[in-house]
Amino acid sequence: MTEALVLAVSAVLRDLYGWEASLELQPTRKEFEGDATLVVFPFLKQSCKSPVETANEIGNALLKATPLVTRFNAVQGFLNLVLASDQFESLFDTLRSSADWGCWPVDAEQPAAMVEFSSPNTNKPLHLGHVRNILLGHSLSRILEASGRRVVKVQIVNDRGVHICKSMWAWQHFGDGMTPESAGQKGDHWVGTFYVRFDQEYRAQVRELMDAGHPEDHAKNHAPCMLEVQEMLRKWEDRDPEVRAL
């Protein structure tokens, strides 16, 4: 639509003033009515009129020359153009009728793009933040594909690390042999329960150390349960058979 409007304005300027140079339209400032704005100062020499008179002359010529413009207003040297609503409706109809409107074919010369999402924590249920990341990652992938890029979508499935060790530690100390089946829970919810249980114990131990006079940073780093979790993680990474079996 912008290209068609530029062509229409160019034709009017050529007829009125013999103007052949390129021109640019700007979005109309929000405090004025209009969709596109033409700065008329460059044409004053050819029009031999004031800025407002020149803007009105161009605006009236556009109303006669093209159905794209339904009305206009002149503010000093700025011609604000109001576009016909049916032009927007036509554009929307085009968008709805074409599944690949605006999409470019894959360009083998462009580097491929890798988008990594959502990579959830496999030991806890998904939450709203994960859904956000999934939608963002998928949308970004589609935008890149539409721009002609070859896109590889990946996610990192990582069920190791300190997070699972926290759940393992809590199960060892408070699980009493419980299983997802005996608890009547999905596996991820069940593991998440022990993750929360660890956090409760960790907070209690930190508070106990702080009450004993230790600084908060020291208490957080030296809580017994956290030290044991860190040791469990070290054993996991060293392929300790007991930890791996757990």
pLDDT digits (tens, 9 = 90+) for 197-242: 999 999 999 999 999 999 999 999 999 999 999 999 999 999 999 9
| Nearest alpha-carbon partner for 159 in 115, 120, 116, 118 | 120
pLDDT > 90? residue 97: no
> The tokens of 16 are what?
């009125």
Residue 122 has pLDDT above 80, yes or no: no
Residue 129 near residue 89, CB atoms below 8 Å: no
Residue 134's alpha-carbon distances to 116, 118, 141, 226, in angstroms, are 10, 5, 11, 31
Confidence of residue 156 (pLDDT cuts 50, 70, 90): confident
CA distance 34 to 82: 4
Please identify which residue in the block is written with the tokens 């013999």: 18
Cα 140 to chain centroid, rounded? 7
Go through the domains of the chain in sequence order and give each one's CATH number.
2-86 (3.30.1360.70), 102-154 (no CATH), 162-245 (no CATH)
> Roughly how many angstroms between the first and final C-alpha of the chain, as a whole number?
64
The reported pLDDT for the residue numbered 1 is 63
Whether cis (ω within 30° of 0) applies to the bond prior to 119 is no
Model confidence band, residue 158 (pLDDT cutoffs 50, 70, 90): low
Q: Is this structure's pTM higher than 0.75?
A: no
**Of 1-15, 92-106, 141-155, the least confident:** 92-106
What is the rounded average pLDDT for all residues in the chain?
Answer: 91
